[in-house]
Chains A and B, each alone.
Chain A
């Protein structure tokens, strides 16, 4: 190809520098300065008090990722085993909710989980509460479901489950059928074929699914705000509070963003170390 074509890369390199690199550098500058623009490490040393937010974010995101994996892997695996017509419809049905804004999907859970919401109304109708009341002696009128860690995790699973199913599905589809046959011919039973052939080969899909669920989960602020009702502060909320929320301090916010970024990158690097494949499935 023509060497001169590489000139096309130049504007893009400039663009990348301006809108990717420099913003991150500015963020770093904010993180290491005070509002009087004096250099400081205070933003980082003060972060200890937010340890519990870090722990909560990573814990809830990890749980959500695990649940997504436990539901998503078998679903993707079974889907790949169906006929082409079924697959087409199933694929469309899984992608369809992704086109609807995630805030709408999250919002719909609010009216389901409220104390007077649909789920509690349902429990009331089937007499669950009177049963529990007579069993425990305490009067129980409703379950507090909204504004709990469980609700936030549910919101993450609900929103990001397709991101887990799709990459795993596309990797399993691309598996060489001959490999499976060969394994069976060599005497492996179905379980062995699955554990020793399919599972290792689908690992790249799993890894990209895990990334695509974990990263947005750990940094979310809208889901925790809507379903956690301000009681389940996550890293995303903490950062949002410092920029557009009720406690303006962009320097601290930038510092927290940086720490989060570094931890996430480390987690991802660690994971990619164990399974080499990554890119691919992102594009489906």
Chain B
């Protein structure tokens, strides 16, 4: 009977491990997949590892993660240890009060900590800006930077802030256990305080410090939420990069990263455990259960494996130091830089390399999900972009709010190549702020093998017969705009009742379970994999999807559609104005426009590129381009007639959009 129970209990534990490890095993298996799917096996290959190593974003974020975690751990361990010593010499009442505050970050949800720190930093930057301006005015000897943004500094502060409590929590019990007379005795015997600290106190509390440091490091490495709110746009930890990747077309590069991470940790754990077992064999000590972690570590460090690890830790410290020095030199070296923010899958990445090689300017290329999220990022102080590529209506809003800077078109000679019909458009009537990047339409993409009738109306998105097969676009302007078009209203209506009617259409469909989900760039994966039948998205992206799923069709519904221009602009007070204009000029050139058209499937506003593209295509692929596809890419004028461009709406209408949009999700 006893034996049966043991088998039963092991069975349960086995099931728990199966549950914990099956997804990880799959992740690892599919990192060796030849194809790019996470569900269909196409043969063994290592090429995702190769492409991961070439992915600058991944490499840089691994570097950033290590840098921040190591630095934060070192600083937090140091500060936390002394804070704990200080706390334990305080009278009880005051100590308990401080410890309560100390526990707040551990008790609070991460998102609350992240949000409150983000608001704090931004408030501080505003205060600092005022102070620095005043200070720079009254004297000329020292110039203070007036514009601070979220970045490595704030990220590091945030990590230190949530690490210190863990260090204190681990050091404190050791201090409690220590005989208070020991230090006094040491000093009576002639030690200075410093000597007493090194020779008496430190050895006593060392296990607590080590375990505190380890927990702090783990917390730092694993953190996503707090980093997400405090790192700003130009600094990205691995977790943030992974989050960004899951929102776009997911490549098995992620699987490769996770496999490497997993193996590293596995090897570390095995080493630690072997060391422990060796130690126990030697000492024949009691079972490991009543030994605290700190003691375990101390014993572990006494073994041979432990000594190796200790060297390893020392090496890690050295690496952190070197990384910091490297980072600081890289920052202070005046390599010209330009920070660009655009959409996902929206540039031929070779162009970045080409630009860097030609000009020596380093491009930090980042992406945002939609106009609305980019606006949030700009407003919340998290963005330090120079060049952004918003759409028409958002440009108008940014101009209205005074957030863009006027361009010097003398530095952008290629602006002359822009087709006149894309100049002086309603969002920038005098064309002082923008150089158009692409133009395209928003239509319906569908998979005819999954539904019975061809789509001709926006109504298909809301049709109960397609329940569970429709993807709603995940931004308020497009989603509500589509419903407005479906109802026959203008997408630029300021009539509240019309907007509410459009919302009602979406809400009804949502309640009837028509929408499978709300997506932006996740649409690629979902539509290509045949996981949904209908989605509304942009014509250019349809052409990219077609390469992976030939069944898909694109249609501009009978009610008409939205056509849009995305244009490059420079933010007000951008620190790299000159580099920004060089980038814009490069991208507006005919060669870059042609490469981009081919890569991303969006039409360029460059007149020469528009004319030359069919020939360019034929030369590249050895066959002429399908005229139907060309018409989807370069929308003919008679179709554009039926399309309406978004315009900037008054702020109360924007607030209504926001409110309705959030309401739709609940």
Q: Which residues of A contact B (CB under 8 A)?
A: 1-13, 15-16, 19-24, 26-27, 30, 49-50, 52-53, 56, 71, 74-75, 78-79, 81-82, 84, 87-90, 92-105, 107-112, 114-118, 121, 144, 146-147, 158, 161-162, 165, 173-174, 211, 215-216, 218-219, 221-222, 226, 228-231, 233, 236-241, 243-250, 253-254, 257, 260-261, 264-265, 268, 279, 282-284
Contact = CB atoms under 8 A, between A and B. Distances in A.
Given A3-B89, A244-B376, 7 more contacts: A8-B86, A12-B83, A79-B13, A104-B261, A109-B23, A147-B517, A221-B111
A2 B193 contact: yes
Nearest to A114: B531
Interface stretch (B128-136, B286-294, B322-330, B489-497): B286-294
B534 interface: no
Interface stretch (B337-345, B586-594, B657-665): B657-665
A163 to B, nearest CB: 12
Contacts of B184: 1-2
A8 B13 CA distance: 46
Given A21-B101, A218-B109, A246 B116 contact: no
State the majority secondary structure of interface residues on B.
helix
Nearest to A239: B111
Contacts of A246: 369-370, 372-373, 376, 474-476, 658, 661
Given A16-B101, A283-B169, A8 B20 contact: no
A20 B289 CA distance: 36
Interface string B443-483: 00000000000000000000000001000001110000000
Contacts of B242: 101, 103-104, 107
B39 interface: yes
A121 to B, nearest CB: 7
B666 A233 contact: yes
Contacts of B102: 16
A82 B6 CA distance: 9
Contacts of B468: 144
A188 to B, nearest CB: 18
Interface in B100-123: 101-102, 104-113, 115-120, 123
Given A244-B373, A248-B658, A78 B161 contact: no
B87 A12 contact: yes
B117 A23 contact: yes
20 contacts: A5-B88, A13-B98, A15-B161, A16-B102, A19-B120, A87-B288, A97-B20, A97-B21, A101-B261, A111-B39, A114-B531, A230-B519, A244-B380, A246-B373, A247-B476, A247-B659, A247-B661, A248-B372, A254-B115, A261-B108
A233 B110 CA distance: 17
A40 B39 CA distance: 51
B348 to A, nearest CB: 27
A23 B23 CA distance: 38
B39 A116 contact: yes
